């Protein structure tokens, strides 16, 4: 007995197998990409869509097309948050200060080392883990970020402030000033 669409409405009609090319989800015209779209120059399209014109460049506010793109506002905040976590780990003794040497200028490393020696962020006890509040940052210029964060250590509260500047021909971000109270 053969099942036909009349006897069983959910049955599919039997047909000769056709050769279909399997389409990957990212190749499908209506599929959304799982990652951010890239522009032809290798930059990231902040909207997540592909550029309409192949020569469309990814620019950030305040940068001219064709110039080296500076950090977007959300990138400066993320950079400040990542550096704040690493800085607090150094100041509390959970990380050696030498790990931040390549991310600090000579003056910045001198300030960091003196804060570590003075014990600026001393733990109240062995069980006290530092808790960071929100990182507040601002960009006084396109190549600088100033940030501060509140650090809770047990019953004590501290403030850590630092300045990051883009330096050198590669534009690497370096900490140029650190202060903790």
User: CA-to-CA distance for 51 and 40, rounded, in angstroms?
Assistant: 9
Residue 17 has what pLDDT? 53
Residue 81 has what pLDDT? 95
Residues of the chain with pLDDT under 70: 1-74, 123-127
Residue 43 CA to its chain's centroid (Å) = 15
Residue 144 has what pLDDT? 95
Residue 49 has what pLDDT? 53
Axis crossing angle, helix 106-118 with helix 73-92, rounded to the nearest 10: 40
User: CA-to-CA distance for 31 and 23, rounded, in angstroms?
Assistant: 11
Residue 48 has what pLDDT? 52
User: Buried b vs exposed e over 117-154: b needs ≥16 C-beta within 10 Å?
Assistant: eeebbebeeeeeebeeeebebebeeeeebbbbbebebe
Q: With a threshold of 0.75, does the pTM exceed it?
A: no
Residue 84 has what pLDDT? 96
Residue 56 has what pLDDT? 41
Residue 53 has what pLDDT? 46
Residue 44 has what pLDDT? 55
């Amino acid at each position: 007995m053969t099942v036909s669409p009349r006897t069983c409405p959910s049955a599919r009609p039997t047909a000769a197998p056709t050769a279909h090319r399997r389409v990957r989800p990212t190749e499908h015209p209506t599929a959304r990409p799982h990652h951010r779209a890239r522009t032809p120059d290798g930059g990231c399209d902040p909207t997540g869509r592909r550029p309409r014109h192949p020569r469309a460049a990814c620019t950030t506010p305040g940068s001219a097309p064709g110039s080296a793109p500076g950090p977007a506002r959300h990138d400066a905040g993320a950079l400040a948050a990542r550096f704040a976590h690493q800085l607090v780990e150094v100041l509390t003794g959970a990380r050696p200060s030498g790990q931040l040497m390549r991310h600090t200028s000579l003056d910045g490393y001198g300030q960091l080392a003196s804060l570590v020696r003075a014990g600026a962020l001393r733990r109240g006890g062995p069980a006290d883990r530092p808790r960071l509040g929100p990182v507040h940052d601002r960009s006084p210029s396109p190549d600088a970020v100033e940030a501060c964060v509140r650090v809770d250590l047990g019953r004590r509260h501290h403030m850590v402030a630092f300045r990051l500047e883009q330096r050198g021909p590669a534009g690497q971000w370096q900490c140029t000033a650190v202060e903790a109270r």
